[in-house]
């Protein structure tokens, strides 16, 4: 698996050489012997190690590992990614899960290596078309969800998608909150409140599609990093992805929406509810202190929040 830094990516990763010896021994067992070489990779927002390991006489494997001392929430994200990845079907646009390690403090995952690269920025039309086509085929493959044990979007996102509600309940909204948002907090919370109905569906969604979570390889686009997956309506994947596409020189969110068949067919009120929920999530999170080991995350969330709010302003027509 080949990665490189995307805009706003943290760029702060633990070298593979510094993961615990127990993780090294597990990786050697998975690969059938001690690796000849470890290639540290970059990109994304995890403070843990990400590396491609070369094994004698065996295909390269991709590993990711993180400990609670680097970020207290990251091990649980790796655990969840392992659960989701284990039920994904075999398909050219999905990663192939190999094994997981968990000692209570450190969690590591192994995948078949993907020879690919991140999309070019600004977005090239041919690559964006490839990604949109792969997204549509992936949604078809994952409908219905391959597992009935995975959470629905309603359950998985119920606390995250209440940003406007929490901001509106404050006696004094944060000083850094945009004036348009401040002026319409109650209305934003009202539109946001319909998000769970709008997101209802039976498709297993990726939940965090961004440039650093997709690779362009010989067989097309592969969507990687699945800790945020949940079962819902395909349009939600598009709405969550659209702000970062605009930031990376791609089309504005409304144009991207039209280019995705499942999103194009969604009810306008449902789309607006999801845009409101995503805008509220990014906006509220951007106002919080940076989490340990992720120094650029809040800036990226703030940038996506501004794009999403502008999208919502145009959809609502509120001055």
Q: What is the pTM of this model?
A: 0.93
Residue 9 covered by a domain? no
Helix (H, G, I), strand (E, B) or coil at 219: coil
Higher pLDDT pick, 281 / 8? 281
- The pLDDT of residue 244 is 97
Q: How much is the pLDDT for 53? A: 98
Q: Is the pLDDT of residue 45 over 90?
A: no
DSSP string, 65-81: EEETTT-TTHHHHHHHH
> How far is residue 208's CA from residue 153's CA, in Å, rounded to a whole number?
12
Q: Which residue range is the domain that position 64 belongs to?
A: 16-116
**What local confidence, expressed as pLDDT, does residue 295 receive?**
87
Does the residue 216 lie in any domain?
A: yes
Q: How confident is the model at residue 46 (pLDDT cuts 50, 70, 90)?
A: confident
**pLDDT digits 0-9 by tens, 82-100:** 999 999 999 999 999 999 9
CA torsion sign for 262, 279, 44, 150 is negative
Smallest Cα–Cα separation from 272: which of 224, 235, 228, 217?
Answer: 235
pLDDT for res 219:
87
Let me know if residue 180 belongs to a domain: yes
| Dihedral sign, Cα of residue 251, residue 200, residue 202, residue 107 | positive
Is the same domain home to 144 and 189?
Answer: yes
In three-state secondary structure terms, 61 is strand
Residue 133 confidence (pLDDT) above 80: yes
Q: How many domains does the chain have?
A: 2
pLDDT per position as a tens digit, 244-279: 999 999 999 999 999 999 999 999 999 999 999 999
Q: Are 75 and 68 in contact (CB under 8 A)?
A: yes
The residue-averaged pLDDT of 115-120 equals: 95
Phi, psi of 256, deg, nearest 5: -60, -40
Give residue 12's pLDDT. Answer: 67
Q: In what order do the strands lie in the sheet with 58-67?
A: 37-40, 49-55, 58-67, 106-112, 97-102
Asked if 189 and 300 sit in the same domain, the reply is yes
Q: Looking at the structure, tell me whether residues 30 and 123 fall in a common domain.
A: no
Residue 3 lies in a domain: no
Per DSSP, the residues of 252-309 read -HHHHHHTSHHHHTS-HHHHHHHHHHHHHHHHHHHTSPPPTT-TTHHHHHHHHHHHHH
Boundary residue ending a domain (57, 88, 116) = 116
Whether 250 is covered by a domain: the verdict is yes
Q: Which of 62, 90, 116 is the last residue of a domain?
A: 116
Mean pLDDT of 143-172: 97
Is-contact 117 111, C-beta < 8 A?
Answer: no
Based on the fold, state whether residues 54 and 144 are members of the same structural domain: no
Q: What mean pLDDT comes out for the span 174-190? A: 96
Write down the pLDDT at residue 6. 46
pLDDT at residue 5 is higher than 50: no
Looking at 90, 116, 142, the residue that finishes a domain is 116
213-248 per-position pLDDT tens digit: 999 998 899 999 999 999 999 999 999 999 999 999
Residue 6 resides in a domain = no
Q: Quickly state the pLDDT bin for 4 (edges 50, 70, 90).
A: very low
Residue 9 has pLDDT above 70, yes or no: no
> Would you say residue 157 lies in a domain?
yes
What Cα–Cα distance (Å) separates residue 294 from each residue in 17, 151, 163, 279? Answer: 20, 26, 21, 21
């Amino acid at each position: 698996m080949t990665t490189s830094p995307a805009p706003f990516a943290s760029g702060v990763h633990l070298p593979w050489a510094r993961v615990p010896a127990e993780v090294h021994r597990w990786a050697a067992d998975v690969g059938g012997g001690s690796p000849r070489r470890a290639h540290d990779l970059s990109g994304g927002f995890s403070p843990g190690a990400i590396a491609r390991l070369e094994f004698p006489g065996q295909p390269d494997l991709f590993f990711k590992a993180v400990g609670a001392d680097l970020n207290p929430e990251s091990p649980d994200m790796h655990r969840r990614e392992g659960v989701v990845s284990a039920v994904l079907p075999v398909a050219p646009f999905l990663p192939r899960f190999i094994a997981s390690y968990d000692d209570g403090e450190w969690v590591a995952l192994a995948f078949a290596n993907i020879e690919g690269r991140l999309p070019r920025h600004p977005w090239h039309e041919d690559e964006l078309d490839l990604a949109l086509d792969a997204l549509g085929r992936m949604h078809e493959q994952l409908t219905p969800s391959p597992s009935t044990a995975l959470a629905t979007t309603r359950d998985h996102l119920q606390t995250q998608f209440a940003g406007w509600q929490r901001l509106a309940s404050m006696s004094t909204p944060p000083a850094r909150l945009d004036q348009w948002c401040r002026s319409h907090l109650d209305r934003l919370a009202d539109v946001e409140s319909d998000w769970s109905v709008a997101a209802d569906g039976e498709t297993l969604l990726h939940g965090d599609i961004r440039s650093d979570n997709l690779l362009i390889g010989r067989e097309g686009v592969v969507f990687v990093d699945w800790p945020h997956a949940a079962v819902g309506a395909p349009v939600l994947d598009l709405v969550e992805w659209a702000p970062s596409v605009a930031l990376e020189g791609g089309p504005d969110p409304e144009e991207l929406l039209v280019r995705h068949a499942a999103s194009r067919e969604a009810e306008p009120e449902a789309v607006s509810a999801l845009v409101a929920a995503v805008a509220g999530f990014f906006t509220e999170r951007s106002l919080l202190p940076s989490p340990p080991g992720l120094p650029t995350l809040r800036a990226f969330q703030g940038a996506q929040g501004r794009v999403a709010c502008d999208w919502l302003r145009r959809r609502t027509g509120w001055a």
